[in-house]
Chain A
């Protein structure tokens, strides 16, 4: 019994953050003044280019925000950048009096839009919880239980990682029709859960396999059964991977439009489908679309900014999904 030898190290994080070597570079070679000037201008050129690109990247979103805060007649007659007085010197004067919350007031008192946000939540939360739970159960089995053909089963799951969602649309629509859950919220949840599973099983199995064997042995010696082992040891230690997976799945489902378009209840759709229905008359509906798109972005952006690290490691693990 080798269980209580040493305190085992915590399982490593799945993200690879190699140690970046410190800035203490070896003694720099002597450089001619000319090359030093070139290096300096190069440095400023890089900064300038990055600032320009950064602004360029922000501009589309800024345009949406600015548009969503303007009156519909203003949107129709002039560009969103007219909120700045472009004749004034840089940085331009902002004519804040052009801004109005009318569009948002209208949106927030629009029952259909509010209900669609609730539907999105009703789809996203269960689909995330289920994927984590079912994925963790299977991940644990693949990592720590023995059964015939285990490796082959796992390879099969990994093979399903890259199956396009499109392959399942027609068959699953038929299947759900038979089961009577076509165009219902539970149907959408089940679809998202199934398609989240290959990645979930892959990620969690790899993470759980890194849990030191001694910890599990110790728990086993204390008389823990399979379920206790899973809930008391594996799940808590799997925290980081579960967080990555959860955030990834949450954003994926929240942002989905295609699956919802086909499988969601058309009279009670999630926000993406509700907005999509307005796109056909883009110009006429811009006073709904702009604030609506922004509201639909708020929660994913909040999640993104709050959990950047977990999101990034999820993205990295999910490369070649």
Chain B
């Protein structure tokens, strides 16, 4: 029983709650508020230490031990599990993807957080904005995964990402007029390679060339104008009609423009002579086209661009893009975290310093680049490291968002650990090796935390 303990708590707290500057508090007579009573202490600590020992500390040792054994847990195989992680292509994909995650996700989230934090300082409703961006942190990765499965849905009619993307795409490129339209088999128009169709006969100026097509669902053509019989062109040109040679009810005669049949507007008609395009025209609202005299005696071709399938957007969850897409959803969840921490750091940056620089003629960009960012460097480092540790363990988002078909392309270490240990892999030795690998990667942070604590408690 010694009342003068070697480490009295009035030395100040450790960790983030640093003691106020200005030296240690005056220490009055050391009475035994703090009693050295190991049994009491043990009673207070027992539940925590038992749980931590059995469920956190012991597993570290067991995982290391288990990682040297095979799937059954009976045969000692040395480092073979580790070698396998770095040679087998499945595991290598996971390692590679984890690397992409650890580099991209924390960087982008931190940069976005910094931008948001700086910008929201300047508007009165900045708090509302922060709330919106921070909110996804409160929901589960499962819910976020379901949300983004919806966002990344392939069909542009259902997935908002592709709806926006195809919208932009179609603004800049013409989409084909009548996807899927084609001539009847055995008609005059025959496939001529690459999806185009060419007339077998040559056309002359005397009689208009009718180009009947089918294959357009009636409801899609419902809004089109009525097809019109073309008049023979003047000046020795070639004219004709392109129309949907089908009418509901079956009263349609092939090759003849019947009452109620619809015109196919916007179809490109090319006149081809000896394999070269000599003229081209586009059908009008009544389906009629008119080619100049040079087309006389040529064959007519309907190029494939008329019938190309519509642009269907990007395959977000396909093998190539699945990892970046899931990283996008992670950033949606965690940019708010970076923003809030950086905003707190920003509040500590002395305003006078910034104002002084502005008075001295620095531009906003220079103030940001030369003063704000350097002053925030410690906060930025903490945010990035925290996100890195978090990303290392990423599991739920990948497991939920990646469809089975591209799960292997989206694989990450934590997912592979789960699959190996509890899923189809059935190899807990390998799973343990992955666990040890993950642990080794966070050891530097562990050491850093402990050293910072010791430094602060020594002060």
Contacts and interface: CB of A to CB of B under 8 A. Distances in A.
B48 A134 contact: yes
Interface string A217-231: 100100000100010
B256 interface: no
A60 B151 contact: yes
Contacts of B143: 64, 255, 293-294, 296-297
15 contacts: A21-B352, A57-B133, A64-B150, A78-B158, A168-B55, A169-B418, A170-B59, A170-B63, A170-B421, A170-B432, A197-B51, A205-B13, A255-B140, A255-B141, A262-B422
B395 A258 contact: yes
B51 A190 contact: yes
A171 B66 contact: yes
Contacts of A77: 157
B341 interface: yes
A319 B412 CA distance: 23
Contact of B33 (A168, A213, A308): A213
Contacts of B368: none
A164 B392 contact: yes
B300 to A, nearest CB: 38
A194 B13 contact: no
B58 A171 contact: yes
A146 B33 contact: no
A11 to B, nearest CB: 9
A135 B44 CA distance: 10
A14 B17 contact: yes
B140 A147 contact: no
Most A CB contacts (10 A, CB to CB) among B12, B132, B332, B421 go to B132
Contacts of A154: 14
B435 A170 contact: yes
Say what secondary structure dominates the interface of chain B: helix
A63 B146 CA distance: 11
Contacts of A316: 16, 340-341, 344
A6 to B, nearest CB: 12
Interface of B: 5, 7, 9-10, 12-17, 28-29, 31, 33-38, 40-42, 44-45, 47-49, 51-52, 54-60, 62-63, 66, 116, 119-120, 122-123, 126, 128-129, 131-133, 135-143, 145-151, 157-160, 163, 332, 337, 340-341, 344, 347-348, 350-352, 355, 358-359, 364, 382-383, 385-386, 389, 392-393, 395-396, 399-400, 403-404, 414, 417-418, 421-422, 428, 431-432, 434-436, 438-439, 442, 445-446, 449-450, 453-454, 457
Contacts of B392: 164
Contacts of B438: 164, 166-167
B7 A150 contact: yes
Nearest to B158: A79
A280 B402 CA distance: 10
A121 to B, nearest CB: 15
Contacts of A261: 418, 422
Given A60-B147, A63-B160, A320 B34 contact: no
A34 interface: no
A44 B446 CA distance: 45
Most B CB contacts (10 A, CB to CB) among A151, A168, A190 go to A168
A2 B14 contact: no
Contacts of B37: 145-147, 226
A237 interface: no
Contacts of B122: 43, 46
A147 B47 contact: no
Contacts of A43: 122
Nearest to A313: B344
Contact of B140 (A2, A61, A297, A321): A297
A151 B7 contact: yes
A16 B51 CA distance: 31
A272 B399 CA distance: 12
A7 interface: no
Q: Top 10 A-B pairs ranked by shortest CB distance? A: A255-B140, A304-B138, A194-B55, A171-B59, A138-B48, A141-B44, A147-B41, A171-B62, A168-B59, A18-B348
B44 A159 contact: no
A175 interface: yes
A46 to B, nearest CB: 5
A202 B15 contact: yes
Contacts of B422: 169, 173, 261-262
Given A60-B148, A293-B147, A321 B386 contact: yes
Interface stretch (A48-56, A94-102, A108-116): A48-56
Contacts of A54: 128-129, 132-133
